[in-house]
Chain A
Amino acid sequence: MNLWLVLAVNSITLGGLLFLLSAGFSLIFGLMKIPNLTHGSFFMLGAYLATSLIALGADFWTAAILGGLLVAIFGGIVERFILRRLAGAELAQVLVTLGLSFMIADVCLMVWTGDPIRIATPSALRGATTVAGFGFPTYRLAISVIAVVFAAALWALLDRTRLGAMIRAGVDDPAMARVVGIRVSRLFTIVFCLGAWLAGFAGVIGGPILSVYPGLDGEMLPLALVVVILGGSGSLLGSLVGSFVVGFLYNFGQAMFPELAYVVLFLPMLIVLVLRPQGLFGRPAA
């Protein structure tokens, strides 16, 4: 299999993971107006929790769902008991999420030590699958499929359900949404938990590819930031497109300009900022 194809598959895989991570980030940012700087930590925490669950005998998918769930519960506690106390003070909320991310990183270092831990690929998805004459690593294809399924599910949730309509109303005009009887504060909790779950889940299913190590949070968070700046906050389509753009840039950048991979990654973000500050699919700020 030639190099470019490998890179393309890897890019799509990373794009899928990034979508799971940044969809929640973008929704939280769109609804609550805060960039949740613990989002990278949720990703890492989910993966670490899953390694412990697997060590306790859980199988991969149970660990992924449960790991995500534990992160979601944690996220719910953070939202309900810390962020809500600071309602209205957005800057304070951002700083609290930053402080929490340091605390989480240090606790993870204490509990799971500094050595990278690799999560084993689920046995059914090991090996390669042949598509159109090329052998693709099955697990990477599976991640892409999962990302597509989640994108469709999230779209259906936001676009087709009552809850989704309420969330969209909250994003567009929280004050008006309250007036018509939507409990916006409860939406905050739901969206925050959902975002945390997605991030934790993404961390687990990313585990077999990326492994888990201290500093993973700090590597994923800027990627999520770039995705959201590129795609525009609160836009699901923006997250999807942004994730794949970043996935491709990251992998191809690393292969072609290894020393400059990081710069290559941020260049399109800078171009978008200059030409279209609200992001590709974002709406201009009111």
Chain B
Amino acid sequence: MNRLALGVALAILAAVPYWVGGTYYVNIASQVLFYAIFALGVNVLAGYAGLVSLGHAGLFGIAAYAGARIMNEGYGHVGVTVGALAVTLLASAVFAALALRGTGLGFVMITVALGQIVWGVAYRWISITNGDNGIAIRGRPSPLGLSLSTPNGFYWATLAVFLLAVTSMAVFVASPFGASVRGTRDQPRRMNALGYHVWMIRFLAFLFSGFWSGVAGLLYLYYNQFVSPQAVALTASAEALLMVIAGGTATLLGPIAGAALVVIVKNVVSAYIERWNFVLGAIFVVIVVFMPEGLVPGARRLWRWALAARRPRAIAVE
């Protein structure tokens, strides 16, 4: 049953370019996928480790900037991918070492500050980042000889990376390491007493989270063929967090649903009004105030409630 559902879901996802109708929608689907990867990365910390980061756009942006710089040096896609992800992992390690000096709200504040440093560098350190003008790359790479320049090609490549990310998350959640990360979220002192190295577990979770944020950043670069300080602004970090919270933290499907919601609303809203930031803020406030557990667990709760409401009635009829 579950396998069948998975197979159907995969077939639907793979066939998106055929049923969604038009390259505009294929491109939106690609955006949903790479933002979902980003949200999955943020969810490792915000959801499973209980460490809410408002600086992850910094890591996302570092990968994009590093990728753009390396690509403009003339390296191929392997060099770009390896180089950009190595830089991102290094940055994640530095971020983690600093941010893990605090937990809870201290962690939030430090990540905000770190994200703003990256923004400041992107905006002001013109000799490296070209400032407000951003960096453009020439064309998308063609890994293994497959061209990513068409919307469909790019969609399938992103889908492949996305499935890899989801699989790695599923493995992570089910693994002893995933359990220990959740342990450090719920009972850090007991974990410590049991002999776990709480700091190291959080550090590794941060690296894992940073890695997928970097992958998403690289896909973002390939998609737009351009990166500017906008990609690393606090708004971008907040959007990522909104995806996770809107969908449901510490769930596998939540961040994906959240990413789809945010990307679609953003594109639809932007088509009609200019006030995306207002809508983003309003969604944030409404979800946090009225649906704190997120859409996926919220919907699940409603579903269970609906089932429970039906069952007694069925008995009564008999």
Q: Which residues of A contact B (CB under 8 A)?
A: 29, 33-35, 37, 82, 85-86, 89-92, 94-96, 98-107, 110, 218, 222, 225-226, 228-229, 258-263, 265-266, 269-270, 273-274, 277
Contacts and interface: CB of A to CB of B under 8 A. Distances in A.
Contacts of B289: 82, 85-86, 92, 96
Nearest to A94: B108
B281 A99 contact: yes
Nearest to A267: B117
A101 B102 contact: no
B66 interface: no
A106 B281 CA distance: 9
B127 A34 contact: no
A92 B288 contact: yes
Contacts of A269: 113
Interface in B102-132: 102, 104-106, 108-110, 112-114, 116-117, 119-121, 123-127
Nearest to A275: B101
Q: Which of A96, A98, A105 has the most CB of B within 10 A?
A: A98
A18 B233 CA distance: 22
Nearest to A228: B109
Contacts of B284: 95-96, 98-99, 102
Contacts of A100: 281, 285
Contacts of A265: 120
Given A34-B105, A91-B52, A270-B98, A261 B120 contact: yes
Contact of A33 (B101, B105, B113, B278): B105
Contacts of B288: 86, 92, 95-96, 99
B285 to A, nearest CB: 4
A184 B300 CA distance: 37
Instruction: Pick the 5 closest A-B CB pairs, nearest first.
Output: A262-B120, A99-B284, A102-B281, A103-B281, A106-B278
Contacts of B104: 90
B112 A106 contact: no
Interface size class on chain B is: 35 or more
Interface stretch (B136-144, B234-242, B254-262): B234-242
A98 B54 contact: yes
Given A34-B105, A266-B113, 15 more contacts: A98-B281, A102-B277, A104-B281, A105-B277, A106-B278, A225-B112, A229-B113, A258-B124, A259-B127, A260-B125, A262-B119, A263-B120, A269-B113, A270-B98, A273-B98
A107 B98 contact: no
Interface string B85-98: 00000000000001
Interface of B: 52, 54, 98, 101-102, 104-106, 108-110, 112-114, 116-117, 119-121, 123-127, 233-235, 238, 241, 245, 275, 277-278, 280-285, 288-289, 292
A226 B113 contact: yes
Contacts of A218: 233-234
A226 to B, nearest CB: 6
Nearest to B275: A106
Given A218-B234, A259-B125, A96 B109 contact: no
A167 B104 CA distance: 23
Contacts of B102: 273, 277
B292 A273 contact: no
A218 B235 CA distance: 10
B117 A263 contact: yes
Nearest to B112: A225
Contacts of B54: 98
Contact of A262 (B124, B127, B233): B124
A198 to B, nearest CB: 19
Nearest to A258: B124
A77 B302 CA distance: 32
Contacts of B117: 262-263, 266
B184 to A, nearest CB: 17
B285 A103 contact: yes
Nearest to A89: B292
A167 B46 CA distance: 32
25 contacts: A35-B105, A35-B109, A89-B292, A90-B104, A92-B289, A96-B288, A99-B283, A99-B284, A99-B288, A100-B281, A102-B235, A102-B280, A103-B281, A106-B277, A107-B278, A225-B113, A226-B113, A259-B125, A262-B120, A262-B124, A263-B117, A266-B114, A269-B113, A273-B98, A277-B106
Contact of B110 (A94, A98, A103, A273): A273
Nearest to A277: B101
A225 B277 contact: no
A259 B129 CA distance: 11
A229 B109 contact: yes
Contacts of A94: 52, 105, 108
A220 to B, nearest CB: 11
